[in-house]
């Protein structure tokens, strides 16, 4: 459930895309591709019954009915971005190690190199290499700090935009508070992290990767100039403390970087058919700034952040990787106990919420409660635009699927009541 103000915002966003997408593709043909067309189409039709729906009906009075349309589940779509964020936070929370503290590391890219990643945005190869390079860099920094090579754990998130919506790829990392000496099979706690060396280490690793991925004379010259221009290395931030230890704080902390849209449409001030004006808080001054763009530039600022199909924005490395997660669990547990650094208690697994739960949370009402008799409505039909009717309870009843059960309690999990005398179904279109 969304507020009327949010509905208005969403309609503005869809209106901007719907009215100008064809003109945008003509001006920027690199986006005139089936994949982008698919994302835009799904966004525009999100929440429309023609894209499929689940129909619920009241099995008590036969009057209540509600159709819940399928959503596009795209992180580009404003309607689905919050749901996407909730799903990701749930997924990540399940991977947080009990008792482990995490540090927040941010690795940025100098403005001169952003075009390299921008040109690769349809492919994603260099963006993937960026994430692998980030892992190798931080692993080396930690090894330097503890004076030996250790296996660390990272949860890494790629974000491609800054607050203004400009293309600005950078990495957010949750780093384990230590690592494992694989030879000795022992835990090594990371005390002080020498953040002063991470700047030059990150510069070295990033520029080496760029040289390999773009082996041209022009790029070699740029890399040499960047070493001269940034004598103290590239910007890399390491939190002095740890990420929040409480589940709610951690959820909010993660969600901030997971799936926030490049330009939240709630920040759109006006749209007159030709120009879009929006506001954002400047990263350095913290002051509110307003920016006006022609509508095609605005669309470009939004769609440039659509990642290639199948690209994994969130990745797990080292001790956090799925294949090694269980392997070192006991060593980590014993190590944290010995160093007395374990977080008290465990991280709460933040379960993903379904439509009904989210609706209740936002409106205080149950969307599946019959408005006529107050009973809980049950699934009646599921329809998909490609596969047709996937589930049809009316058909089940007409075919006598439940006649062999003499009593409702004998049905072994069937959600329907007995279909004699009690059930009265109206075959006409019903409103809420």
Over the stretch 353-397, which tens digit does the pLDDT of each residue have? 677 887 787 778 898 999 999 999 999 999 998 888 888 877 777
pLDDT class of 201 with cuts at 50, 70, 90: very high
138 and 196 housed in the same domain: yes
pLDDT of residue 164: 87
Q: Could you tell me if 59 and 191 lie in one domain?
A: no
189 beta partners? 178
- Mean pLDDT, residues 212-238 taken together: 93
CA distance 145 to 195: 10
> Domain check: are 323 and 377 in the same one?
no
Give me the domain span that covers residue 151. 95-262+305-339
- In this prediction, residue 371 carries a pLDDT of 94
Q: Tokens 């010995």 map to which residue?
A: 338
Lowest mean pLDDT among 80-94, 129-143, 227-241, 291-305: 80-94
Q: Is residue 223 part of a domain?
A: yes
Q: Is the pLDDT of residue 137 over 60?
A: yes
Q: Which residue has the tokens 């003509």?
A: 26
* 283 pLDDT tier (thresholds 50, 70, 90): confident
CB atoms < 10 A from the CB of 136, how many?
Answer: 14
217 and 171, same domain (yes or no): yes
Query: Can you say how many angstroms the Cα of residue 294 is from the centroid of all Cα atoms in its chain?
Result: 28
Residue 250 in this model has a pLDDT that exceeds 60: no
Q: Same domain, yes or no, for 315 and 367?
A: no
pLDDT band of 96, cuts 50, 70, 90: confident
Residue 39 banded pLDDT, cuts 50, 70, 90: very high
More confident residue, 149 or 415: 149
Supply the mean pLDDT for the chain. Answer: 81
Residue 277 lies in a domain: no
Give the number of other Cβ atoms within 10 Å of residue 404's Cβ. 8
Lowest mean pLDDT among 30-34, 320-324, 332-336: 332-336
Confidence of residue 418 (pLDDT cuts 50, 70, 90): very low
19 in any annotated domain:
no
In a domain, 288, yes or no: no
Percent of the chain exceeding pLDDT 70 equals: 81
pLDDT-derived band at 80 (thresholds 50, 70, 90) equals: confident
Do the domain assignments include residue 4? no
Whether residues 104 and 232 fall in one domain: yes
Token output for 237: 């931030």
Residue at 273 is within a domain? no
Whether residue 294 is contained in a domain is answered as no
Q: Do residues 330 and 223 share a domain?
A: yes
User: What total number of domains does the chain contain?
Assistant: 2
Q: What angle do CA 284, 290, 294 make, to 5 degrees?
A: 125
| Contact present, 71 and 47 (Cβ < 8 Å) | yes
Least confident of 119-123, 279-283, 334-338: 334-338
Domain shared by 131 and 176, yes or no: yes
Domain boundary among 339, 360, 394: 339
Lowest mean pLDDT segment, chosen from 127-136, 218-227, 344-353, 394-403: 344-353
Q: What pLDDT shows up at residue 414?
A: 37
Gap between the Cα atoms of 175 and 424, Å rounded: 59
- Residue 352's pLDDT band (cuts 50, 70, 90): low
Q: Domain end: 339, 365, 394, which one?
A: 339
Residues 52 and 108 in one domain: no
With 0-12 / 13-18 / 19 or more C-beta atoms within 10 angstroms meaning exposed / middle / buried, residue 180 is buried
Q: Report whether pLDDT(270) > 70.
A: yes
In a domain, 331, yes or no: yes
Residues 363 and 242 grouped into a single domain: no
In three-state secondary structure terms, 358 is helix
Q: Are 258 and 85 in contact (CB under 8 A)?
A: yes
- Same domain for 335 and 357, yes or no, is no
Give the tens place of pLDDT for each residue, 152-165. Answer: 999 999 999 988 88
Q: Are residues 254 and 380 in the same domain?
A: no
């Amino acid at each position: 459930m969304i507020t009327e103000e949010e509905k208005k915002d969403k309609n503005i966003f869809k209106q901007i895309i719907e009215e100008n997408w064809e003109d945008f593709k003509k001006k920027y043909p690199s986006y005139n591709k089936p994949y982008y067309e698919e994302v835009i189409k799904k966004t525009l039709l999100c929440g429309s019954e023609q894209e499929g729906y689940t129909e619920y009906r009241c099995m008590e009075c036969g009057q209540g009915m509600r159709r819940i349309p399928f959503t596009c589940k795209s992180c580009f779509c404003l309607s689905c971005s919050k749901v996407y964020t909730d799903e990701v936070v749930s997924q990540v929370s399940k991977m947080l190690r009990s008792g482990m503290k995490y540090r927040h590391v941010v690795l940025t890219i100098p403005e001169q190199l952003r075009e390299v990643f921008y040109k690769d945005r349809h492919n994603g190869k260099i963006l993937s290499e960026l994430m692998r390079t980030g892992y190798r860099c931080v692993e080396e920094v930690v090894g330097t700090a503890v004076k030996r090579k250790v296996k660390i754990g990272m949860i890494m998130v790629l974000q491609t935009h800054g607050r203004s919506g400009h293309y600005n790829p950078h990495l957010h990392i949750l780093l384990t508070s230590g690592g494992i000496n694989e030879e000795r099979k022992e835990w090594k706690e990371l005390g002080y992290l020498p953040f002063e060396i991470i700047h030059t280490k990150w510069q070295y690793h990033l520029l080496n990767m760029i040289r390999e991925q773009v082996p041209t004379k022009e790029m070699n010259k740029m890399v040499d100039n960047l070493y001269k221009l940034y004598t103290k290395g590239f910007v890399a931030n390491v939190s002095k403390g740890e990420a929040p230890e409480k589940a709610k704080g951690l959820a909010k902390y993660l969600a901030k970087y997971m799936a926030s849209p490049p330009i939240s449409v709630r920040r759109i001030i006006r749209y007159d058919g030709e120009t879009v004006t929006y506001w954002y808080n400047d990263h350095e001054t913290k002051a509110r700034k307003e920016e006006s763009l022609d509508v095609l530039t605005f669309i470009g600022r939004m769609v440039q952040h659509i990642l290639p199909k199948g690209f994994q924005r969130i990745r797990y490395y080292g001790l956090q990787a799925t294949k090694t997660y269980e392997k070192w669990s006991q060593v980590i547990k014993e190590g944290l106990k010995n160093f007395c650094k374990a977080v008290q208690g465990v991280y709460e697994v933040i379960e993903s919420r379904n439509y009904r739960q989210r609706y209740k949370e936002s409106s205080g009402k149950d969307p599946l409660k019959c408005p006529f008799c107050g009973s809980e409505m049950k699934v009646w039909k599921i329809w998909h635009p490609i596969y047709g009717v996937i589930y049809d309870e009316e058909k089940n009843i007409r075919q006598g699927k439940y006649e062999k059960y003499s009593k409702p309690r004998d049905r072994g999990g069937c959600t329907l009541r007995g279909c004699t005398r009690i059930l009265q179904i109206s075959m006409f279109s019903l409103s809420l």
